[in-house]
Amino acid sequence: MSKILLLAGGTREESRNNKVATYVKEYFKGIDVACSLYDQLYLNTPFLLDYEDKQPESIIEIRKSLIDSKKIIIFSPVFNGGYVSHLKNTLDWLSLGFDNYSYNELFKDKDVSIVSSVDGSGSNARGSFDLLSVQLTNYGLKVYDEFYLFTEQETVDEMIEKDKNKEKFQNFLNLFLTI
């Protein structure tokens, strides 16, 4: 099994999207699947203004992991039916050409899955998934058809602390590993 890149787009360190990303990292460790987790994407990464901008160290570090990864899981909060700007910014930086890599080459033909945790019922989550899916496809990624949604009825905290729906979520992850 090849390495998996985990990108947690939570808007604060203790966000549920970051919590579930950490859970996935530990779960993969337990089943001997190599992965790298990057969170706090809103720190130390300036907004991309020009494709010739100097690439920040935070992006260079993620890029090194992306080179060796065949799959990506993105943990994305939903804001007003869309995804957060720092996630798009990170993906845009990663799409840039460098050294012997051309534009979007690091993303070509890699599988990507999306997991979201929201405060409410998740009524805007499908729209966010659709928007993010289009963007990810534009980068050249192969988007997994289904996304996993944690809501106020099925929370990350209940899964982690009380094992509620843990098997359901692990089945989702295991299916993604097989594609």
What local confidence, expressed as pLDDT, does residue 121 receive?
87
- Spatial neighbors of 82 by CB under 8 A, at least 6 apart, are 127, 128, 131
| Domain, as residue range, for 146 | 3-178
Distance from C-alpha of 33 to C-alpha of 25, rounded to nearest angstrom: 9
Residue 139 DSSP code: T
What CATH number has the domain bearing residue 50?
3.40.50.360
H-only helix segments in the chain: 16-30, 57-68, 85-95, 125-138, 156-162, 166-178
Indicate the number of domains in the chain: 1
pLDDT confidence tier of residue 20, bands split at 50, 70 and 90: very high
For residue 154, name the pLDDT band (cuts at 50, 70, 90): very high
Q: Are 96 and 31 in contact (CB under 8 A)?
A: no
Q: pTM here?
A: 0.95
Question: Is the pLDDT score of 14 beyond 90?
Answer: no
1 pLDDT more than 60 = no
pLDDT digit string (tens) for 63-79?
999 999 999 999 999 98
